[in-house]
């Protein structure tokens, strides 16, 4: 999961707007940030660094950068480690001109692509799968850059939502399966591309539409020109985890409100025992209040409280100056981050029965530490409710779960998970109920992390592109 943003204008300077767009997408990546543009001499330039957007980039400098098109990226590592060489956009000035690429997703055929390219003389400067796309473009010197890009994208497989900067303009491209979201926005005569629609409101733009799966959209002085990749998909694979956790709640994906989807997930979780685990039928009598794990569990907890009639309480307080724990790169940082980030209210929990709602349980790190802290508050009972199905399979399309050994539900029974994290009971939303809550047909959603049904076949074992672990 990364965030990409692009801007094109015929008259306005847009580098600072890309900076602001990345600020709005900060939840999608906290390891590095970058902005690329083409200068008056026709060469691509890039400013990038490690850390949050305001740490990695100089807003004042970008505000004075006189360019009418630019692209940007915020990153957390899936394929490739956390280092400056892997920070994006990845740029080159090659025989046919300047090119910069910002990529959200993972390529599942990276190993074969990289071997083929290296055998043809390519020298890789990073371990990011995005660089393979750049080399595929450069290895077609007889084609204009846009045609070379189209040819390159026909050779890659897996998840890619891209913004690409060429002399011809800004290009948005989405894989034929539609794994990761990508949207088009507009303000006056300016056009914007973003991983999520939430970034548009910050710069005063409005959502126009989603970039369609398999679409390559060129934005330049001639307006919008849409191309289609030849590769066909027999069904959609939009990541359902975007609705569960990844996207900001004020975003709209494929016409569906993320907020409303999460609220309905909470309602369905409270409504019946259709999910998995030791669900206490009729939770309305099982607790004194409903709490949540901020912030991604907030919306589902509101829906849960509304449906169950149990009072809602903001009983776990978040330190607003600490970022997400799930997307931190190491287990040690995740563990320390939880204690710094979250603090349960002793006055609310002491002597009371509580239902704690979270959006997902992946490794179990956050839930276990928070439950332990709540136990220290002398809670009488604590029932954990998860507003998504158990995550039992790794994701190969852009989420940091490369090994089944990292996943709590893949190595433990649900009763064992409840016991290991110290909860009195644990239950999950069923897959069917999650799909109903999202409101899109099941054959348009990827649920591989829940059911093992991958693009390349059920429960297919594939190697992690960065480390080789299955």
Task: Express each pLDDT in 410-429 by its tens digit.
Answer: 999 999 999 999 999 999 99
8 A C-beta contact, residue 88 and residue 104: no
Q: At 292, which CATH number?
A: 3.40.50.2020
265 and 352 inside one domain: yes
pLDDT score for 403: 82
pLDDT, tens digit (0-9, with 9 covering 90-100), for 131-158: 999 999 999 999 999 999 999 999 999 9
pLDDT score for 178: 97
Does residue 238 sit within a domain? no
> What is the extent of the structural domain holding 155?
3-233
332 and 208 inside one domain: no
Does residue 242 sit within a domain? no
Q: What is the mean pLDDT of residues 238-251?
A: 97
Greater confidence (366 vs 242) lies with 242
Q: Quick one: pLDDT band at residue 469, thresholds 50, 70, 90?
A: very low
211 and 322 inside one domain: no
- Beta-strand pair 425-428/381-386: parallel
Q: Does the predicted model carry a pTM greater than 0.75?
A: yes
Q: Mention every residue, 6+ apart, whose C-beta is less than 8 A from residue 238.
A: 178, 179, 181, 253, 254, 440, 444, 445, 446
Lowest-confidence region among 101-110, 111-120, 334-343, 349-358: 334-343
- CA proximity to 111, closest of 401, 457, 467: 467
380 has a pLDDT exceeding 70: yes
**What's the full length of the chain, in residues?**
470
pLDDT score for 76: 82
- CA proximity to 161, closest of 183, 134, 180: 180
Q: What is the mean pLDDT of residues 98-104?
A: 97
CA 381 distance to own-chain centroid? 34
217 and 364 inside one domain: no
CA distances in angstroms from 248 to 5, 24, 144, listed in the order given:
15, 9, 37
Does residue 451 sit within a domain? no
Does residue 126 sit within a domain? yes
Does residue 465 sit within a domain? no
pLDDT score for 100: 98
pLDDT score for 402: 60
pLDDT score for 470: 29
Tokens 């685990």 locate to 277
467 has a pLDDT exceeding 50: no
CA 268 distance to own-chain centroid? 24
Reduce the DSSP state of residue 468 to 3 states and report it.
Answer: coil
182 and 277 inside one domain: no
Does residue 184 sit within a domain? yes
Percentage of residues in the chain with pLDDT exceeding 70?
A: 89
Domain count, the chain: 2
**What's the first-to-final CA gap in the chain, in angstroms?**
19
Q: Which two tokens stand for residue 330?
A: 């190491």
Q: What is the mean pLDDT of residues 359-382?
A: 92
324 has a pLDDT exceeding 60: no
Does residue 241 sit within a domain? no
Q: Quick one: pLDDT band at residue 78, thresholds 50, 70, 90?
A: low
pLDDT score for 134: 94
- What whole-number distance in Å separates Cα of residue 298 and Cα of residue 426? 18
- What whole-number distance in Å separates Cα of residue 362 and Cα of residue 231? 33
281 and 213 inside one domain: no
pLDDT score for 267: 97
Q: Which of 233, 249, 277 corresponds to the end of one domain? A: 233
228 and 363 inside one domain: no
222 and 266 inside one domain: no
Q: Which of 233, 267, 301 corresponds to the end of one domain? A: 233
Q: Quick one: pLDDT band at residue 404, thresholds 50, 70, 90?
A: confident
Q: Quick one: pLDDT band at residue 366, thresholds 50, 70, 90?
A: confident
pLDDT score for 290: 96
pLDDT, tens digit (0-9, with 9 covering 90-100), for 335-348: 566 777 888 999 99
Burial of 42 (0-12, 13-18, 19+ CB in 10 A): exposed
pLDDT score for 153: 97
152 and 282 inside one domain: no
Does residue 181 sit within a domain? yes
221 and 282 inside one domain: no
Q: At 30, which CATH number?
A: 3.60.20.10
288 and 402 inside one domain: yes
212 and 261 inside one domain: no
pLDDT, tens digit (0-9, with 9 covering 90-100), for 439-459: 999 999 999 999 999 998 765
pLDDT, averaged across the chain? 89
Q: Mention every residue, 6+ apart, whose C-beta is less than 8 A from residue 348.
A: 289, 291, 313, 315, 354, 377
Query: Annotated catalytic sites, by residue?
Result: 2
């Amino acid at each position: 999961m990364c965030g990409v943003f692009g801007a094109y204008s015929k008259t306005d300077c847009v580098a600072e707007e890309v900076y602001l767009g990345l600020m709005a997408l900060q939840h999608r990546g906290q390891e590095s940030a970058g902005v690329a543009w083409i200068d008056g001499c026709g060469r691509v330039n890039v400013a990038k660094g490690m850390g949050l957007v305001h740490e990695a980039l100089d807003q004042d400098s970008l505000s004075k950068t006189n360019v009418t098109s630019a692209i940007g990226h915020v990153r957390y590592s899936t394929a490739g480690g956390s280092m400056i060489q892997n920070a994006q956009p990845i740029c080159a000035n090659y025989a046919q001109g300047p090119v910069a690429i910002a990529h959200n997703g993972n390529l599942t055929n990276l190993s074969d692509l990289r071997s083929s390219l290296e055998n043809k003389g390519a020298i890789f400067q990073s371990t990011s799968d995005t660089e393979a796309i750049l080399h595929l473009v450069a290895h077609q010197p007889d084609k204009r850059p846009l045609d070379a890009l189209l040819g390159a994208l026909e050779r890659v497989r897996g998840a890619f939502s891209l913004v690409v900067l060429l002399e011809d303009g800004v290009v948005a491209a989405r894989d034929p399966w539609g794994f990761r979201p990508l949207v088009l926005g507009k303000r006056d005569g300016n056009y914007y591309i973003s991983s999520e629609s939430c970034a548009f409101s910050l710069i005063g733009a409005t959502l126009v539409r989603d970039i369609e799966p398999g679409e390559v959209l060129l934005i330049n002085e001639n307006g919008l020109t849409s191309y289609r990749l030849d590769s066909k998909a027999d069904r959609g694979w939009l990541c359902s985890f975007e609705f569960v956790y990844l996207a900001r709640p004020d975003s709209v994906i494929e016409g569906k409100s993320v907020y409303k989807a999460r609220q309905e997930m909470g309602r369905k979780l409270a409504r019946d025992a259709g999910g998995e685990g030791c669900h206490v039928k009729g939770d309305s009598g099982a607790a004194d209040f409903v709490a949540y794990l901020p912030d991604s569990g907030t919306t589902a907890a509101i829906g849960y409280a509304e449906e169950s009639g149990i009072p809602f309480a903001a009983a776990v307080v978040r330190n607003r100056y600490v970022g997400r724990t799930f997307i931190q790169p190491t287990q040690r940082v995740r563990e320390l981050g939880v204690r710094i980030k979250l603090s349960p209210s002793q006055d609310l929990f002491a002597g009371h029965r509580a239902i704690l709602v979270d959006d997902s349980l992946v490794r179990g790190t956050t839930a276990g530490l928070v439950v332990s802290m709540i136990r220290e508050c002398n809670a009488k009972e604590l029932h954990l409710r998860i507003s998504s199905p158990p995550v039992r399979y790794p994701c190969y399309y852009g989420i940091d779960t490369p090994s089944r050994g990292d996943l709590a539900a893949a190595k433990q029974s649900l009763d064992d998970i409840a016991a290991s994290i110290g909860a009195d009971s644990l239950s999950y939303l069923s897959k069917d109920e999650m799909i109903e809550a999202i409101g899109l047909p099941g054959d348009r959603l990827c649920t591989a992390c829940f059911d093992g049904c991958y693009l390349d076949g059920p429960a297919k074992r594939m190697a992690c592109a960065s480390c080789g672990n299955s």
